[in-house]
Amino acid sequence: MTIIEIIEKKKNKQPLTKEEIDFWITGMISGEVKDYQVSSLLMAIVLNGMNQEETFYLTDAMLHSGEQVDLSEISGIKVDKHSTGGVGDKVTLILAPLLASFGLKVAKMSGRGLGHTGGTIDKLESIPGYRVELTREEFMKQVQDVGVAVISQSGNLVPADKKLYALRDVTGTVDSIPLIASSIMSKKIASGSDYIFIDVKVGNGALMKDLESARALARTMTEIGKRYQKKTVCILTNMSEPLGYAIGNALEVEEAIQSLKGMGPEDVMELIIKIASFIISDTENISEEEATQQCFKKLNTGVAYQKLEEMVHAQGGDLTKLEVSNRIFSVRSPKAGYLTKINALGLGEIARQIGAGRLTKEDKIHYQVGLVLRHKVGDFVAVNDELMRVYLDDKDVKVNDILDCFTITEHPVEKEPLIYEIID
């Protein structure tokens, strides 16, 4: 068996065996299978897909490529939440402290940006002093004492995914249901939580462009979770426009802080309340209506925000030192009308180009840069109304590239729903 034979087999649309997938993953970790060979195989998978058994074998091979976390010594229900990635998606920064304020234990290992989508770890690293790497002992103690810890994936936890993640980001092989499902579920299962909740983004600014593919991804992940006896729930949400107003690391942290004080953008608050109330209802055996009321109380009284402060402080961060760029310019509407479309993908790519994300594995994130919308789809704008503020560092952007992301028409458009369905 050789990696060339495996690449040829997948190139010819044939399913791979468990032994072949194990050979590929083991060889990649040892260095015997080279990056360029892995990239070739990834492209063949993107083009020709994987069946359900192959996807499970890949998940299992990645899961067993390193250590697995045992959270049994932590009391209470351990909850993990993941998003498939979107533009302006700062949900974890808000949801994790909110759930912890109810007494749930959130032991979260997050990733960095992938493609045009932002990464939770990049956002947290915009907080001066915040440590994204903790020892196992520090991590376990913080989850037990504070109720929440959000760290980067450790070097020994699913190292195969860490390698594949970086390669997929820079080789145009992000958009693949088997690769996305195995990446997410291998990490979630290895992280040791009892309850896995996954936000599957759908639309222009997401990896899944339509509901059919989003449902397929959700069902694939819930099926994998079932095989490992893990409660796995997926929510399908709209990413045809950015979530909230802020796009970029420090800017999104600022918006998360406002949301934890009950003053976040309408769409962000709607999604947070829906996910949190579903999980609280499910884990505490109360109605969703009662859970919703309790969520609003935690937000409006500052209890949820206090939990964020506790988490950040425990990990060495200082929210008072959070900074955004002071090199700001305004993009204004060239005409009057209704905003009928905001190209989330286009804005995500612009944010990446000005330094909020990576174009190569070696790129350094500029945490203070980004974009802040001033209007959302459905809003009326007058001539010269501010559409967006752009926060720059050492890179520039063309105003017309930003304007191309906005569609303004004479007639209003019916706004699409934010939440499509929950697959439980």
Instruction: Tell me the average pLDDT across 340-364.
Output: 88
What are the residues whose beta carbons fall under 8 Å from the beta carbon of 342, sequence distance 6 or more? 241, 242, 373, 376, 377, 405, 406, 407
Cβ atoms within 10 Å, residue 286? 14
CATH topology of domain 326-409: Aldehyde Oxidoreductase; domain 3 (3.90.1170)
Instruction: Tell me the average pLDDT across 143-152.
Output: 95
pLDDT value, residue 169: 77
Q: Is 145 a catalytic residue?
A: no
Which among 89, 161, 194, 282 is annotated as catalytic? 161
Which among 81, 82, 108, 352 is annotated as catalytic? 82
pLDDT value, residue 115: 61
Mean pLDDT of the chain, nearest integer: 94
pLDDT value, residue 170: 81
Domain-by-domain residue ranges, the chain? Answer: 3-49, 78-320, 326-409
Instruction: Tell me the average pLDDT across 290-311.
Output: 97
Q: What percent of the chain has pLDDT over 70?
A: 98
Q: For 411-421, write each residue's pLDDT tens digit.
A: 998 889 999 99
**DSSP character at residue 147:** S
Using left for φ > 0, alpha for ψ between -120 and 50, and beta otherwise, residue 366 falls in beta
CATH code 3.30.300.20 for 78-320:
no
Q: Is 161 a catalytic residue?
A: yes
Q: Is 374 a catalytic residue?
A: no
Structure tokens at 286: 């109360």
Q: Is the pLDDT of residue 68 over 80?
A: yes
Asked if domains 3-49 and 326-409 share a fold, the reply is: no
pLDDT value, residue 217: 95
pLDDT value, residue 109: 85
Higher per-residue confidence, 85 vs 199 = 199
Q: For 174-225, write each residue's pLDDT tens digit.
A: 889 999 999 999 999 998 999 999 999 998 888 888 999 999 999 999 999 9
Q: What percent of the chain has pLDDT over 90?
A: 84
Which amino acid appears at position 231 of this protein? K
* Cα(397)–Cα(289) distance, integer angstroms: 46
Instruction: Tell me the average pLDDT across 42-69.
Output: 95
Q: Is 163 a catalytic residue?
A: no
363 pLDDT tier (thresholds 50, 70, 90) = confident
* Cα(313)–Cα(301) distance, integer angstroms: 20
Q: Which CATH number fits domain 3-49: 1.20.970.10, 1.20.1090.10, 3.50.50.60, 3.40.50.2300?
A: 1.20.970.10
At residue 269, the 3 state secondary structure works out as helix
Phi and psi at 257, nearest 5°, equal -60, -45
Nearest CA to 385 among 396, 376, 394? 376
Q: Give 406's strand partners.
A: 342
Buried b (16+ CB within 10 A) or exposed e, 41-52: bbbbbbeebbee
pLDDT value, residue 424: 85
Instruction: Yes or no: say if 121 and 152 are a contact pair by the CB < 8 Å rule.
Output: yes
Q: Is the pLDDT of residue 246 over 80?
A: yes
CA dist list (Å): 357 to 21, 119, 208: 31, 9, 20
Q: Is 183 a catalytic residue?
A: yes
Which among 183, 191, 193, 325 is annotated as catalytic? 183
Q: Is the pLDDT of residue 116 over 80?
A: no
Q: For 310-350, write each residue's pLDDT tens digit.
A: 999 999 999 999 999 999 999 999 999 999 999 999 999 99
284 pLDDT tier (thresholds 50, 70, 90) = very high
Model confidence, pTM: 0.90
Q: Is the pLDDT of residue 114 over 80?
A: no
pLDDT value, residue 359: 74
Instruction: Yes or no: say if 78 and 140 are a contact pair by the CB < 8 Å rule.
Output: no
Which among 90, 105, 168, 375 is annotated as catalytic? 168
Instruction: Yes or no: say if 405 and 343 are a contact pair by the CB < 8 Å rule.
Output: yes
Instruction: Yes or no: say if 150 and 120 are a contact pair by the CB < 8 Å rule.
Output: yes
